[in-house]
């Protein structure tokens, strides 16, 4: 206790109730030298709501054609399928990645890396963009709406294609409280 007149910081454990709604938080302070103990009750009204925040993770995408002369980019585009997108279009995708491990003759890449829809709402912004000729990289944002309840972590695989060809990808693990 501080000597009067003084200030003290007090920490008290508090747990958010599982039931959402209106709550009144009351605090009562006392001090043996308090001349007016009738004014030591304070309160604050608060609303308990489900979390509405999203997990946001920046991801850097590198331009594999940076520094190549425009004629080389034209050759890359014409060498493949004529319906393939231009060299500078990047398309992003996200799924809930699950690795199904297997060995030897049981190792089937289609099953081992089988994509599945995102377990939670997930998107990449922007999902499609154009690299300029001298642009080295672009940052995109993975946005996942993870539940605020305790539970297991989930994996999200973000993959990119440039000019219709695989460019690469990254797996992001999103954890929840208590995981």
Q: What's the mean per-residue pLDDT of the chain? A: 77
Tell me the residue ranges of DSSP E strands in the chain: 21-28, 41-48, 55-62, 89-95, 122-125, 128-130, 137-144, 154-162, 165-174
Rounded to an integer, what distance in angstroms lies between the CA atom of residue 152 and that of residue 172? 14
Single pTM value for the model: 0.59
What's the average model confidence in pLDDT over 78-94? 78
Rounded to an integer, what distance in angstroms lies between the CA atom of residue 133 and that of residue 106? 43
What's the average model confidence in pLDDT over 134-147? 92
DSSP lists the bridge partners of residue 125 as 141
127: pLDDT confidence band, cut at 50, 70 and 90?
very high
CATH of the domain spanning 55-174, picked from 1.10.10.10, 3.40.140.10, 2.60.40.2310, 3.30.70.100: 2.60.40.2310
Among 3-7, 61-65, 73-77, 81-85, name the one with the lowest average pLDDT: 73-77
């Amino acid at each position: 206790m501080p000597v009067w007149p003084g200030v003290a910081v007090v920490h008290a454990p508090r747990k958010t109730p599982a039931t959402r709604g209106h709550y009144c938080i009351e605090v009562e302070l006392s001090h043996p030298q308090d001349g007016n103990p009738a004014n030591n009750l304070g309160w604050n009204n608060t609303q308990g709501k489900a979390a509405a925040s999203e997990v946001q993770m920046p991801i850097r995408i590198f331009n594999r054609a940076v520094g190549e002369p425009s004629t080389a980019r034209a050759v890359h585009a014409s060498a493949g399928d004529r319906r393939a997108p231009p060299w500078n279009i990047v398309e992003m995708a996200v799924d809930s990645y699950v690795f199904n491990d297997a060995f030897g003759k049981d190792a089937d890449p289609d099953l081992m890396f089988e994509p599945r829809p995102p377990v939670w709402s997930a998107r990449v912004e922007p999902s499609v963009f154009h690299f300029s000729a001298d642009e080295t990289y672009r940052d995109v944002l993975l946005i996942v709406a993870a539940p605020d309840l305790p539970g297991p972590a989930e994996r999200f695989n973000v993959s990119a294609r440039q000019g219709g060809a695989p460019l690469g990808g990254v797996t992001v693990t999103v954890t929840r409280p208590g995981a």
